[in-house]
Structure 1
């Protein structure tokens, strides 16, 4: 399906460490500029953004949320969210590839021992990418795990099959879940080139076409016991879900912004006005101008709630996280995700409406914005965000703790 240019998971280029917000934003803009040029062509032909992904890692963006004490940038989640929003406005498939990388970093900080943090986050600071050995396709729900980590005479062995494995094809370390011999759920970190680990490039989604979110198969894969971290019980407060969802929302906000900007460009230069408007340019149609104003107001609102959510997540960071703080962070992010979901879908659909029939021509590739929005926003149902928000403010009930809320 895919034409590769080298193997992106092999020894990474030496990575910089970014320790100021401005340097991170500048690096994100550089990655976005590189990615934007051929985004429509890559989407059409399922060509992976390997060059831009390499720049993402080489520039140091992969370690900006790693604490400075562990060698990383020690930057805020406000900065992380902005980085993802900027890159996703250019190419949300590129934005999604390291999506799980940052959620896993937070998991290591929450649950890993000091030695595991030094080991795994040291690899991240050196430029290695963490890829997702995702949930399992043929189970009752996303937390139904059939993969097994078994103790043999010769050591630990992992067997199972995963899907929605975003970033695994491009990872240096594949991260997945399994049940151990006691039936306890664990997170396992496996080198990408391990014997018995196969990444199958079978993602066929209509959108986010170059995320390679397909199958990962583990067949008696050797596992280093020092790279196994028990998954927490639901009783222990964590920011992992809020961080994961914040990045999801940032990607959707980026899709909305990218669609809106391309819509305005298309209206100005490529579309014709409706005959009854009696104007020379489509951009001078007062009804279209009002519609653009409505959508831009909603886009600004979504971006504002995204920044607010990131600020609240940052306020709740720390070693003494309480259930109240975890809930506050999750609800704030849920509020942002409601609006970023809506604007990603709305802006990408309005792009086609404002541009008229010619906006649907394949040569322009404008349909990719809606396909990306519709695909990425299906990660988890936004109707349950409304429920979580309402139950919190009405009844004081904290949201269920998942890796995605």
Structure 2
């Protein structure tokens, strides 16, 4: 397979795609486990990391997981944040990169299923229930920071809205049906556009060559004079974002890392039971009877349980916040809770993914087992948003009484938004 691929021509809907419509929270969790079982089997093969996760992405669609955020009045489940978080966690335990495809899909979908425009809500609800996937094209390379962007959305001489620019870290976009793109207007005002990934002028490149999260397909997307349909856009609202504007992507990032940690623990236990040998000094026949290994597995399990517990608590607070968005103290607790979940999941995924080899022995490092994928995925994913700044907000709140915020507010203040 070529490592640099292009997609330009419009693609017809796949008539063979039979998509399940999920009707309950319990059904969503069962669907996630069923899809994860297949995805995990694929992830065990080291050769799979050199292939695009086409089958895995299709499983996300056909299982119905990509449509669970659609509101009941449009035929969907209207899933709670807790259920969305759980599905991302379960998929990420199987493959962190595929979990990130689902994560960014839900982040993009949230704005569309709750759009102010009835037409936009109805259109994208139908698309999501049909298994269509969403990707993002927000970040660029070459600027002084992630918000220094050159992509432009401008009206040409005949009144057509056109998009031009290049994006990187475009998670999921290579295999998506729709791409959410950040851009600036002719006057430099920040905004964005939704475009079909198959539209003329859209080129997706398979050039994400990181050593981890390879299945997140977070490479380049180019936009060359792409015509933008104004009828399906969701214009950015005036004024600052809510304080909690980034808590939804943040909690799903925590779900990814929590999933990676639990996947690493499960893989370590499986290897100890099926392949590892007892150490000669241990005095036991099986490695699973060695006290030092039992103790370390206990430490791993506690780390996973702590990450899962803080993630569940943050999700519960999030659902409370949805019902009372103007409650300042609840918003504060949500930011703190999500930051805590991020910190515990970051810690667990990196520690277990790296340390498991100390228990499993030298043979576990052979490429055929592909056990290093957990650490590689954790190490790459946890660089996306520095945990030191989540801890900064927590520490400043407890030490100095400063309301915890998120970097969207800081950026907007600097830009005068």
Q: Same fold (TM over 0.5)?
A: yes
Change (3 A) 1:384 1:107: same
Q: Spell out the pairing of 1:45-194 with structure 2 (5 A cutoff).
A: 45-109=49-113, 112-154=116-158, 155-194=160-199
Instruction: Judge which range, 117-126 or 371-380, deviates more.
Output: 117-126
Where does the alignment leave 5 or more consecutive residues of structure 2 unmatched? 412-417
Q: Spell out the pairing of 1:195-344 with structure 2 (5 A cutoff).
A: 195-232=200-237, 235-237=240-242, 239-318=244-323, 320-322=325-327, 324-344=329-349
Q: CA deviation at 1:258?
A: 0.6
**Cα pair 1:10 1:172 within 8 Å, conserved:** no
1:358 aligned onto 2:359: no
Q: Give the Cα separation in 2 of the matches to 1:8 and 1:331.
A: 44
Instruction: Judge which range, 339-348 or 109-118, deviates more.
Output: 109-118
Instruction: Pick the aligned partner of 1:17 from 5, 16, 21.
Output: 21
Change (3 A) 1:45 1:231: same
Helix, strand or coil for the counterpart of 2:368?
A: coil
- Residue by residue, what CA displacement relative to the aligned partner does 1:54-112 show, whole Å, maximum 9, x if unpaired? 12212211121222123321111111111111111111111111211111122235654
Helix, strand or coil for the counterpart of 1:140?
A: coil
Q: CA deviation at 1:396?
A: 3.8
Change (3 A) 1:8 1:268: farther
Change (3 A) 1:48 1:333: same
Change (3 A) 1:400 1:287: same
- Residue by residue, what CA displacement relative to the aligned partner does 1:168-227 show, whole Å, maximum 9, x if unpaired? 011111111001123221121101111111001100000111221100000110001123
Q: Give the Cα separation in 2 of the matches to 1:320 and 1:302.
A: 25
State the TM-score, normalizing by the size of structure 2. 0.90
Change (3 A) 1:99 1:42: farther
Q: Give the Cα separation in 1 of the matches to 2:115 and 2:243.
A: 9
Q: Give the Cα separation in 2 of the matches to 1:192 and 1:88.
A: 24
Change (3 A) 1:343 1:167: same
Helix, strand or coil for the counterpart of 2:308?
A: helix
Q: Give the Cα separation in 1 of the matches to 2:223 and 2:70.
A: 28
Where does the alignment leave 5 or more consecutive residues of structure 1 unmatched? none
State the TM-score, normalizing by the size of structure 1. 0.93
1:378 aligned onto 2:383: yes
- Runs of 4+ aligned structure 1 residues displaced above 6 Å come to 6-9
Change (3 A) 1:120 1:247: same
Change (3 A) 1:108 1:239: farther
Helix, strand or coil for the counterpart of 1:277?
A: coil
Change (3 A) 1:43 1:135: farther
Q: Give the Cα separation in 2 of the matches to 1:39 and 1:124.
A: 26
Q: CA deviation at 1:334?
A: 1.0
Change (3 A) 1:91 1:59: same
**Cα pair 1:171 1:192 within 8 Å, conserved:** yes
Change (3 A) 1:202 1:381: same
- CA RMSD, aligned part only? 2.5
Change (3 A) 1:214 1:357: same
Change (3 A) 1:281 1:96: same
- Residue by residue, what CA displacement relative to the aligned partner does 1:341-397 show, whole Å, maximum 9, x if unpaired? 110111111221111111111111111111011011111100111111122333141
Q: State the match for 2:414 in structure 1.
A: none
Q: Give the Cα separation in 1 of the matches to 2:324 and 2:198.
A: 34
1:31 aligned onto 2:35: yes
**Cα pair 2:179 2:197 within 8 Å, conserved:** yes
**Cα pair 1:242 1:333 within 8 Å, conserved:** yes
Q: Give the Cα separation in 2 of the matches to 1:334 and 1:136.
A: 25
Number of equivalent positions: 404
Change (3 A) 1:317 1:42: farther
1:402 aligned onto 2:408: yes
